[in-house]
A and B are shown apart, each in its own frame.
Chain A
């Protein structure tokens, strides 16, 4: 089994990437034509990688389970993308973006990777503008910025509340151009089911054509996993319904270490759960915290009255409102990082101040912003002594221009008008910092198998800052992987096409077939969703926003029992020879049931609190997270041993040469 070697280049931090690029092996253009690369996923990471690799001359085969690459989950990202452009002249720089990301991640990420990310960030914006991505602009015609949680500069580029959509359509158009040229062969409605490893190298995959049900063999000289995050292990999350861990888990089972699985991000501003029928949760972009103020009633009796529906939030006076983030964290106020904001909401609701029927919601209020914008606008338009109504109307128009689609989305779901009454929000599972372990080149512990985008673990440590996932996905796909993959493929120019007619492909295909046969012949009594929901409950209650030793141990036991029950009793109707959504779900839930246990194990092992991982045993008297740098300044990289509960822990020590480890304070 391979050793953990992060392959961080020598030299000063700001020279590492340049030096590395100058020193790695290249594949000449004629030889690239002889090399095939498989890319699993067409989100920002996979889409940008596939397009770039094809442009460089490689033969790319790209896969996604949706009916078109344009529908990958990245499409749903709302708020924006960071880049250290310093267009606002507010003191931003590559170093500051690097520093904010390291600090925001609570000092659990790799300096070299994060610096590179900050370094290439500016390029991303140039690239996207050149592709025709319509970012928001100011009247002077230049690009506009907003700010996001955890930072004090405005470096977030955006396209209303549809930034992910616009960026993904950019990557999709770059892909489309290459598909048209025949350099990318696109496999829509295909799901990767197994990795094929030959002589220790990733050489292909088994994919299921979701329309015909056929199992297909695809070979390549390298396999790139860009399959997104695993938040759906919680059943309810802001991820799309189909988001899953299968591709990442399958390579884990074949030898790729899985890093920091317990690092999950709970996003503070989502629409609260409304009932048992709920199938997913909807995010209200963090950008709303730029203008929205978060509060709960100061008095318990007011909270109770609001819950009972006898008191309206607008009837509660200023003095009786507790703007708890502004109170606890005056320096950052409503813009504290996500983990801090989420825990603070939970703390207020647990203390009995929650505001919707379930008691699990807080207010996000725009009335101050509407008024402020209204006054500004009245000034600009030269309206003297505008009436309150006029001010509010002007202000509403400004807020609508900024967040119109989010407000509409909210109104459609909740049937409440957020321009008139505050939104209700609650934290929900949103993003997973953990993922497949990769080295500086983004290669996993399997030779020739790479992981990019949310599927890997590399850049966000224990907590991701807002607007940094889009940045990372595009950095990996456009600017990092296309270089680093050449270093490995340079040795493969004489290999020739990889045959799919080998014992390794036979074996991988048999594995997939046996699993499908099991599901189809199981004759169980309960639906896949039944098990998924139960898993989700265990994860949310025991491995969610706050974790403790006893709960985690219990979760491990419960998940193991549930997993056994699933295999014995799950019911999958229909036939394997055609479109069968229940069969697709069964495969995904089977993998979540293994991952869930590893997450609990990882959370148990890490008895410190850091970033999104909060161990109740490790907190200050004021309830703030207590990190333990002495014992936990490392990445946990888990090796599969046949039983997720008996995974082997490898530690990659994190070395900080350029920043000083500090207590993360947003006060």
Chain B
């Protein structure tokens, strides 16, 4: 296939940035999107130009590193996958493809398609954990049976890969889907319930501090989320938050 790529290039966080056009040829439909980017980059290096910087690592949809906004959609046109799992067979010969970084105030661009998502880490540091030491003196793993349904639901929420597509897809740049996934996972398990109130208050406070927007229930996040994290997590978090704020002592 022959394609025309229109890619966001930005030398550093301060630079203005612009869209640059690159033609690519000989793209096989079996290539992944990132392998297509490899082909472009190899060509650029051979021409003595700087390759396009983008984040990626596992290339199998689990590390959450890859993050391209392709033709106006986070992770591109396919559903339930990350950029690295997108394959060129989803495109046609002659297509023009627009590639941009995630856009959000809380995700500043570092270079080209690479953004800084450490705001997510800071939200986690504010409360995304169970306060238990790793001493090995915990009780037996089977001491507290957990209904399979709860365990499965917690698991589903826990599969969030922290990619940020939800934020990039949201017109308000809200991080509610990401935060609510963690809050839900821990709120559903007996181990996490103990400090559930503190957790939700602290995580939401940090989320606001980072400059993420509000949730207006548009649901774009759920559509673009590669892991199918459900909006019901946001509803659960809202309930948790409300009840925690009502009973908060400090």
Is B9 an interface residue when CB atoms closer than 8 A count as contact?
A: no
Q: Measured between C-beta atoms, what is the minimum distance from B29 to chain A in Å?
A: 9
> In chain B, what residue has the closest Cβ to A142?
B142
Q: What 1/0 mask marks residues of chain A from 510 to 537 whose CB sits below 8 Å from any chain B CB?
A: 0000000000000000010100000000
Contacts of A409 in B (CB 8 A): 60-61, 85
Query: Known contacts being A71-B65, A412-B81, is A166 close to B136, with CB within 8 Å?
Result: no
Q: Measured between C-beta atoms, what is the minimum distance from A189 to chain B in Å?
A: 9
Q: Measured between C-beta atoms, what is the minimum distance from A292 to chain B in Å?
A: 19
Q: Which of B124, B148, B192 contacts A139 (CB 8 A)?
A: B148
Tell me the bound Cα distance from A277 to B33 in angstroms.
Answer: 11
Q: What 1/0 mask marks residues of chain B from 113 to 141 whose CB sits below 8 Å from any chain A CB?
A: 01011101100111011111111101111
Contact (Cβ within 8 A) A131 B58? no
Q: What 1/0 mask marks residues of chain A from 592 to 619 whose CB sits below 8 Å from any chain B CB?
A: 0000000000000000000000000000
Q: What 1/0 mask marks residues of chain B from 7 to 45 whose CB sits below 8 Å from any chain A CB?
A: 000011000000000000000101110110011001011
Contact (Cβ within 8 A) A166 B155? yes
Is B244 an interface residue when CB atoms closer than 8 A count as contact?
A: no
Q: What 1/0 mask marks residues of chain A from 378 to 417 whose CB sits below 8 Å from any chain B CB?
A: 0000000000000000000000000000001100110100
Is A274 an interface residue when CB atoms closer than 8 A count as contact?
A: yes
Is A418 an interface residue when CB atoms closer than 8 A count as contact?
A: no
8 Å CB contacts to A: which residues of B146-192?
A: 146-148, 151-152, 154-155, 158-159, 161-162, 185-186, 189, 191-192
Contact (Cβ within 8 A) A67 B31? no
Query: Known contacts being A67-B117, A126-B140, is A180 close to B87, with CB within 8 Å?
Result: no
Tell me the bound Cα distance from A141 to B148 in angstroms.
Answer: 5
Is B213 an interface residue when CB atoms closer than 8 A count as contact?
A: no
- For the complex, count residues of A whose C-beta is within 8 A of B: 80
Q: Which of B58, B129, B189 contacts A240 (CB 8 A)?
A: B58
Contacts of B46 in A (CB 8 A): 527, 571
Q: Measured between C-beta atoms, what is the minimum distance from B185 to chain A in Å?
A: 7
Q: Measured between C-beta atoms, what is the minimum distance from A525 to chain B in Å?
A: 8
> In chain B, what residue has the closest Cβ to A577?
B12
Contacts of A186 in B (CB 8 A): 121
> In chain B, what residue has the closest Cβ to A139?
B148
Contacts of B121 in A (CB 8 A): 68-70, 176, 179, 186, 188
Is B50 an interface residue when CB atoms closer than 8 A count as contact?
A: yes
Contact (Cβ within 8 A) B53 A66? no
Which of A129, A174, A241 has most B Cβ within 10 Å?
A129
Contacts of A415 in B (CB 8 A): 87, 89
Contacts of B30 in A (CB 8 A): 274-275, 277
Q: Which of A128, A173, A280 contacts B124 (CB 8 A)?
A: A173
8 Å CB contacts to A: which residues of B33-82?
A: 34-35, 38-39, 42, 44-46, 48-51, 53, 55-65, 78, 80-81
Tell me the bound Cα distance from A71 to B160 in angstroms.
Answer: 12
Q: Which of B116, B129, B151 contacts A173 (CB 8 A)?
A: B129
> In chain B, what residue has the closest Cβ to A141?
B145
Contacts of A120 in B (CB 8 A): 136
Query: Known contacts being A127-B138, A240-B57, is A141 close to B189, with CB within 8 Å?
Result: no
Contact (Cβ within 8 A) A479 B136? yes
> In chain B, what residue has the closest Cβ to A179?
B125
Q: Which of A123, A132, A573 contacts B189 (CB 8 A)?
A: A132
Q: Measured between C-beta atoms, what is the minimum distance from B22 to chain A in Å?
A: 15
Tell me the bound Cα distance from A142 to B162 in angstroms.
Answer: 29
Contact (Cβ within 8 A) A277 B28? yes
Contacts of B34 in A (CB 8 A): 279
Tell me the bound Cα distance from A257 to B63 in angstroms.
Answer: 31
Contacts of A164 in B (CB 8 A): 62
Is A165 an interface residue when CB atoms closer than 8 A count as contact?
A: yes
Is A441 an interface residue when CB atoms closer than 8 A count as contact?
A: no
Contacts of B118 in A (CB 8 A): 67-68, 188
Q: Which of A128, A130, A131 contacts B139 (CB 8 A)?
A: A130
8 Å CB contacts to B: which residues of A66-89?
A: 66-71, 73, 75-76, 85, 87
Contact (Cβ within 8 A) A140 B35? no
Tell me the bound Cα distance from A85 to B42 in angstroms.
Answer: 50
Contact (Cβ within 8 A) B139 A126? yes
Is A134 an interface residue when CB atoms closer than 8 A count as contact?
A: yes
> In chain A, what residue has the closest Cβ to B158?
A134
Contact (Cβ within 8 A) A162 B126? no
Q: Which of B49, B120, B130, B146 contacts A131 (CB 8 A)?
A: B130
Contact (Cβ within 8 A) B147 A141? yes
Contact (Cβ within 8 A) A408 B38? no
Contacts of A279 in B (CB 8 A): 32, 34-35, 38, 59
Contacts of B158 in A (CB 8 A): 134, 159, 166, 169
Q: Measured between C-beta atoms, what is the minimum distance from B107 to chain A in Å?
A: 11
Contact (Cβ within 8 A) B133 A241? no
Q: Measured between C-beta atoms, what is the minimum distance from A337 to chain B in Å?
A: 24
Tell me the bound Cα distance from A582 to B41 in angstroms.
Answer: 10
Query: Known contacts being A142-B145, A165-B62, A165-B159, is A130 close to B130, with CB within 8 Å?
Result: yes
Is B111 an interface residue when CB atoms closer than 8 A count as contact?
A: yes
Contacts of A166 in B (CB 8 A): 155, 158
Query: Known contacts being A137-B146, A413-B87, is A130 close to B63, with CB within 8 Å?
Result: no
14 additional contacts, CB 8 Å, given A172-B124, A241-B59? Answer: A68-B120, A71-B58, A126-B139, A127-B136, A134-B158, A137-B146, A162-B62, A173-B128, A188-B118, A275-B28, A279-B34, A412-B78, A527-B42, A579-B110
Of the A-B pairs whose beta carbons lie under 8 Å apart in the complex, a sample of 21, sorted by A's number, is: A71-B64, A71-B162, A123-B138, A132-B154, A132-B189, A132-B191, A142-B142, A166-B155, A177-B131, A275-B30, A277-B28, A279-B35, A279-B38, A282-B60, A409-B85, A413-B32, A478-B134, A573-B48, A573-B50, A582-B45, A582-B51
A residues lining the B interface (CB < 8 Å):
48, 51-52, 55, 66-71, 73, 75-76, 85, 87, 120, 123, 125-132, 134-143, 159-160, 162, 164-166, 169, 172-174, 176-177, 179-180, 186, 188, 211, 240-242, 274-275, 277-280, 282-283, 408-409, 412-413, 415, 478-479, 482, 527, 529, 571, 573-574, 578-579, 581-582
User: Top 7 closest A-B pairs, CB basis?
Assistant: A141-B145, A173-B129, A180-B125, A134-B155, A130-B138, A129-B141, A134-B154
